[in-house]
Structure 1
Amino acid sequence: MDRSVIVHENFLRRVAARDFPQGRPPTDGLDPAKAVEIYRAACLSRALDRQSREMQRAGQGFYTIGSSGHEGLAAVAAALRPTDMAFLHYRDAAFQIARAAQVPGQSIAWDMLLSFAASSEDPISGGRHKVLGSKALTIPPQTSTIASHLPKAVGAAYAIGAARRHRPEHAELPDDAIVYCSFGDASANHSTAQGAFNTAGWTSYQAIPMPLMFVCEDNGIGISTKTPTGWIAASFRHRPGVKYFACDGLDIYDTYATALEAAQYIRTRRKPAFLHIRTIRLYGHAGADMPTTYLPKTEVEAEEAQDPLLHMVRQLSQSGAMSPDDAQEVYESTAARVARIAAEAVTRPRLRDAAGVMASIIPPNRRCLATNGPTTEARAAAFGSDMKQMAEPQIMSRLINWALTDLMLSHREIVMMGEDVGRKGGVYGVTQKLQARFGPDRMIDTLLDEQSILGLAIGMAQNGFIPMPEIQFLAYLHNAEDQLRGEAATLPFFSNGQYTNPMVLRIAGLGYQKGFGGHFHNDNSVAVLRDIPGLILACPSNGRDAAMMLRECVRLAREEQRLVVFLEPIALYPMRDLHGDKDAGWMCTYPDPSQTIALGEVGTHGQGEDLAIVTFGNGTYLSRQAEPALTSAGITTRVVDMRWLSPLPVAALTAAVQGAKRILIVDETRHSGGVAEALMAHFAESMPGTPLARLTAEDSFIATGPAYAATMPSPDSIIAAAKALMGRTL
């Protein structure tokens, strides 16, 4: 028999017989009316779990990971404020239900059943997923809480203190808010979670405000793998910088009092706490999971005998808040009400086409205060002696530095964070002087953990900041790429555009650094970025473009709430010459702060009709180096600099190659999975019959030493490829 039916029948039988599990009597501190509200929330959570299984059996519902056994979390919600941002574990339906009771005008049963039914009227995801979440309740949705939401919870908590010092235009959280972040005992072992705990403690240890409540819901098992008894307490009881609290989630009086104490500690001390809550898991992991296939039946039955709803009825009766008969009536009437609502919810419309599903990948625009750019006085004060050099050609790294300065002068909500970005000014000096100009609050030197760097940025975006995190080298992104894929990019999609993660992530990367560090410092793969829906990937080839594109990237984040990655070719940071020693052919003057390059706008050098070379980044530089030899061979060329790698600027690219007889794609990424694959497909589809060829890097990592560029395009290989293409088509 379905374990949910067994638990239900046991509840009815035992309440009628007054056969309650043993436990502590209720303590003082929880108002009787509030205790009853917690029980009502628990009953609704339980009824929704049972109804989700009925809906799935009828083909009307699509998600059955329930909250049964975790209903005590309603008591935690009662101890917090609805303005405390909550990143919820997927077993926290009772928490959301209890919070809904704190905010007028909510229809929580209807809303959650629409989510179960995958209706397009679901107010949080629009039918894209069954998620807990609500804009009105300050609960951003989480699609899965296998620890990936913990780094951004750390960032959101940090943002509360940061907003006290520099309040952003779009800040949402009160100055005295705290951030709530819950997860299971199995997830606490995930490296992502461990990084978040460490970052919160590391920050708190330095007396930096971190008003964060970690809540571990310890039911002792992760799907089928048990958590060793005592492991969570042993791991977290003495963690530096994070105060440990523990309570019994089967005892709502103890849970409420402990959560209230932890919240008061966090709110007054502005330090993080770890609340360890004992729970149980009823029914197994999900609808299709049968716990008796991997646990002894006696153990499953023993767990079911500790049903938290039975403990609640016992305690409510002992306190005089509600009789067992009244409690049973609430339980049964709630189940009947849920069934009636579900019968209507399953009739509501669902998403039917790709356009509907994809409608929230791109977040909505938002209104921003107008800005006229930095004033002359502010620029003079910030730049100092640098102002005198702006009329002279400069290398890319310096122009990026100046662009960042102007942007931070224009937009007080911009914050930068990363390893070495502040005091040192970055590994390559790109952020030099910025901490002196804007202070450590806006130029944040972080610990060495890419997940925490991106989590800090994602969380700060939740409170109105425009984060500009830096990943020191492209290869290091892979330690943390799920923060972009699974968290930042998915948030507008699964919240129907109600929550967003605007940011500009700067990454120093690509190849061609001479003899420096091999693969980890020379990484020419961007495939992981190009297949994330909604992400914009920009890559400049020269300093002037970099400054103007960076301004557009910030506009996209600030006004259109976009997730943007700005990929800076390290080898071009110091580049001065193009064709000969000291010709300064790759240096540029700094463009006026009002000048930008729009998303999708490509660059073209030359008007040659024999050959269009389509490329980006280092490929643009190398192709320009190849031009004299091609001209000497009688081949007229144009070099088309893509600038924007995702989404591909297809219309602009097609226009840029019009009139050219042949197209050569020069791609410094790899042959398999590289940018050239998409470009070849595009030109084959949009310009059938035009001769095409591609020159790419080999499917190889990059070596250290003299062979650093052996696997990638070069001026000589570009010349050879161009001549070969000409020879094939003449």
Structure 2
Amino acid sequence: MNMIEAINDALDIMMARDPDVVIMGEDVGYFGGVFRATHGLQKKFGKNRVFDTPINECGIIGAAVGMAAYGLRPVPEIQFADYIYPGYDQLVSEAARLRYRSAGEFIAPITVRSPFGGGIFGGQTHSQSPEALFTHVAGLKVVIPSTPHDAKGLLIAAIEDNDPVIFFEPKRIYNGPFDGYYDKPVKPWNTHPDSVVPEGYYSIPLGKARTVREGEAMTVLSYGTMVHVAAAVCAEKGVDADIIDLRTLVPLDIEAVEKSVEKTGRCMIVHEATRTSGFGAELSALVQERCFYHLEAPIERVTGFDTPYPHSLEWAYFPGPVRIGEAIDRLLGAE
């Protein structure tokens, strides 16, 4: 499966297992979603469980909070992560706090799915990576898969979770593994190891990182599309890197991070979002606090730039072989 198919399969399985699971959002019903992630689900489960909404993100999230308090498990789709801001207040002020404010009487088992990041030349309104805005909010969980296998297992776990989960899907790798740098999927993608997705139900616990490959020279911390980019650069340069796919930013598998950095003594963080106050800053602080006496070089961050998202210069904005390669050279060259 590619990631779209894996997500669709997870939704299908959970709707069949639990009649309280409902899907809502712009174009998710008859059309099957702008990226086809909900294709065929309305026909199979009916319009009462898979339904279209107005173009009103505040209303989508607000309605989902009410449904969750009532006992349902809504899975709202925000068509692009860039559109989520009108619903941010509902997520922060209502969904994230509902369990605490009600002393556990109510829960908010909401899974907000949304494509995020670049890869389609969508410019400033279709390509942002706003994950750091949600990792700062106590009460929200944030999940970002990098493979079809993980997308299915993590989405099932998110839907089953009793707390609100922001589930960001990297659209640059929606249609299959790619060559690491650009937007052309590897062919045939259906034989790629990342595309092996077991049939039926399985879940991957939130808060558990994945070791993409083991190494001794340095630690690479990343998530989503940038896992593949960083791995491709390390392979091209022949670097024996310990590559960690965080998978969930909140809760964070800090034990896996510590174990790796203590082993290698060097750490590089790669993400697509802008640098200032990006999640890499939090990772850097945690590594500094917990692994200081093991570090043999300053921590490196390779990120997007602190600029509005460029349309025509999208591939220059992404961390790529040049900037990641330079960071690797600095890390390995430090005394």
Normalising by structure 1, report the TM-score. 0.43
Match of 1:694 among 301, 305, 323: 301
How far off its partner does 1:439 sit?
A: 0.9
In 2, Cα distance between equivalents of 1:607 and 1:576: 20
Residue 427 in structure 1 maps to residue 34 in structure 2? yes
Residue correspondence of structure 1 range 637-716 to structure 2 within 5 A: 637-689=241-293, 690=295, 691=297, 692-705=299-312, 707-716=313-322
In 2, Cα distance between equivalents of 1:494 and 1:461: 15
Residue correspondence of structure 1 range 170-569 to structure 2 within 5 A: 394-511=1-118, 513-516=119-122, 518-556=123-161, 561-569=162-170
Q: List alignment gaps of at least 5 residues for structure 1.
A: 1-393
Given that 2:6 and 2:197 are in contact with CA atoms closer than 8 Å, whether structure 1 keeps it comes out as: yes
Letter in 2 for 1:655: K
Aligned Cα root-mean-square deviation (Å) = 1.6
How far off its partner does 1:543 sit?
A: 0.7
After superposition, what is the alpha-carbon deviation per residue over 1:227-249, rounded to whole angstroms, capped at 9, x for unaligned? xxxxxxxxxxxxxxxxxxxxxxx
Match of 1:718 among 320, 324, 331: 324
In 2, Cα distance between equivalents of 1:522 and 1:515: 8
In 1, Cα distance between equivalents of 2:152 and 2:179: 20
Given that 1:577 and 1:583 are in contact with CA atoms closer than 8 Å, whether structure 2 keeps it comes out as: no
After superposition, what is the alpha-carbon deviation per residue over 1:318-349, rounded to whole angstroms, capped at 9, x for unaligned? xxxxxxxxxxxxxxxxxxxxxxxxxxxxxxxx
Letter in 2 for 1:659: K
In 1, Cα distance between equivalents of 2:188 and 2:332: 30
Match of 1:623 among 210, 230, 234: 230
Residue 595 in structure 1 maps to residue 191 in structure 2? no
In 2, Cα distance between equivalents of 1:420 and 1:586: 32
How far off its partner does 1:409 sit?
A: 0.9
How far off its partner does 1:717 sit?
A: 1.9
Which position in structure 2 is the counterpart of 1:571?
A: 172
Question: Structure 2 vs 1, CA of residues 717 and 552 (structure 1 numbering), >3 Å: closer, same or farther?
Answer: same
After superposition, what is the alpha-carbon deviation per residue over 1:583-639, rounded to whole angstroms, capped at 9, x for unaligned? 5347512224343211211011221100111000111011122132221xxx21121
Q: List alignment gaps of at least 5 residues for structure 2.
A: none
How far off its partner does 1:476 sit?
A: 0.6
After superposition, what is the alpha-carbon deviation per residue over 1:422-467, rounded to whole angstroms, capped at 9, x for unaligned? 1111111111111111111110101110011111211111221100
Q: Any idea what SS the aligned residue of 1:709 has?
A: helix
Letter in 2 for 1:680: S
Which position in structure 2 is the counterpart of 1:728?
A: 334
Residue range with higher mean Cα deviation, 707-716 or 453-462: 707-716
In 1, Cα distance between equivalents of 2:194 and 2:42: 26
In 1, Cα distance between equivalents of 2:265 and 2:219: 8
How far off its partner does 1:469 sit?
A: 0.5
How far off its partner does 1:709 sit?
A: 2.6
Letter in 2 for 1:603: R
In 1, Cα distance between equivalents of 2:9 and 2:269: 32
Which position in structure 2 is the counterpart of 1:353?
A: none
After superposition, what is the alpha-carbon deviation per residue over 1:347-381, rounded to whole angstroms, capped at 9, x for unaligned? xxxxxxxxxxxxxxxxxxxxxxxxxxxxxxxxxxx
Given that 1:457 and 1:469 are in contact with CA atoms closer than 8 Å, whether structure 2 keeps it comes out as: yes
Q: Any idea what SS the aligned residue of 2:292 has?
A: coil
Letter in 2 for 1:521: H
Given that 1:612 and 1:639 are in contact with CA atoms closer than 8 Å, whether structure 2 keeps it comes out as: yes
Given that 2:212 and 2:243 are in contact with CA atoms closer than 8 Å, whether structure 1 keeps it comes out as: yes
How far off its partner does 1:660 sit?
A: 1.5
Normalising by structure 2, report the TM-score. 0.93
Aligned residues: 326
How far off its partner does 1:401 sit?
A: 0.7
User: If each structure's strand is expressed as a fraction of its own residues, which one has the higher value?
Assistant: 2
Pair member with larger Rg:
1
Identity %: 31
Given that 1:396 and 1:587 are in contact with CA atoms closer than 8 Å, whether structure 2 keeps it comes out as: no
Given that 1:695 and 1:721 are in contact with CA atoms closer than 8 Å, whether structure 2 keeps it comes out as: yes
Given that 2:21 and 2:74 are in contact with CA atoms closer than 8 Å, whether structure 1 keeps it comes out as: yes
- With CA pairs under 8 Å and 6+ residues apart, which has the higher RCO, 1 or 2? 2
How far off its partner does 1:581 sit?
A: 4.9
